[in-house]
Amino acid sequence: MNGVAFLQLANGMGKTVGIFILTLLFSLPLGLPVYLGRVSRFPLLSFLMRVYISIMRGTPLMLQLLVIYFGPYYLFNLQISMAYRFYAVIIAFSINYAAYFAEIYRGGFQSIPHGQKEAAQVLGYSRTQTFLLILLPQMFRRVLPSITNEVITLVKDTSLAFAIAYTEMFTIAKQLASAQASVVPYIAAGVFYYLFNFVVAMVMERIERAVSHYRI
């Protein structure tokens, strides 16, 4: 593999990392309001969030990506620009992972003993203070292993951007392998994904250790 091909793969690596970071930046916080809507006392809002989560978890991410990318053209006859590919990738990945994170959060909150809410009320905490200061920190501590699994999956899922020809790592590796009639670009991409996942796993493990001593 020559220098030009290596530079192309390096450019694809940067875009893959960008997808990964932006997806986490949007989906992790977005999962919280989705969870709150899911457990809301308003039946319509709760129903809509249940449907949203069901669709996001019950259909392939690649299909969601294709719908978001081609939807504006087929539904509203809007022209699709090259730049929209990037936005479509981030939107699709973010709303998909937000649904998974919302369910992870729900499991984390449900694992917290109900007596802690009652104790907070006795101590004079408002509902908002109880949620932000007592329940939310504990929830994140409890669900970090599950979040780690999703984060590692996200690293591999970034390759699905090839479905709309967004030139991230896997798309470029596929193009180079076809042009050179060689499996080397695929091997190089595989090494990158493995190393990327290895680094992510180490970082998440350090975070888990750092919060393992947390106490309310």
Cα(164)–Cα(170) distance, integer angstroms:
12
In a domain, 205, yes or no: yes
Check whether 158 has a pLDDT greater than 60: yes
Number of structural domains the chain divides into? 1
Q: For position 180, what pLDDT does the model report? A: 76
Residues 89-107: tens digit of each pLDDT? 999 999 999 999 999 999 9
In a domain, 51, yes or no: yes
Kindly report the average pLDDT of the chain as a whole number.
Answer: 87
Write the CATH number for 8: 1.10.3720.10
In a domain, 105, yes or no: yes
In a domain, 96, yes or no: yes
Give 122-148 as a DSSP string: HTT--HHHIIIIIIHHHHHHHHHHHHH
Check whether 64 has a pLDDT greater than 90: yes
Mean pLDDT to the nearest integer, 170-194: 81
- Phi, psi (rounded to 5 degrees) for 166: -75, 130
Q: Which amino acid is at 190?
A: G
In a domain, 216, yes or no: no
In a domain, 39, yes or no: yes
Q: Which domain holds residue 127?
A: 3-211
How far is the first Cα of the chain from the last one, in angstroms, to the nearest whole number?
A: 54
Highest mean pLDDT among 22-36, 70-84, 171-185: 22-36
Q: What is the model's pTM? A: 0.88
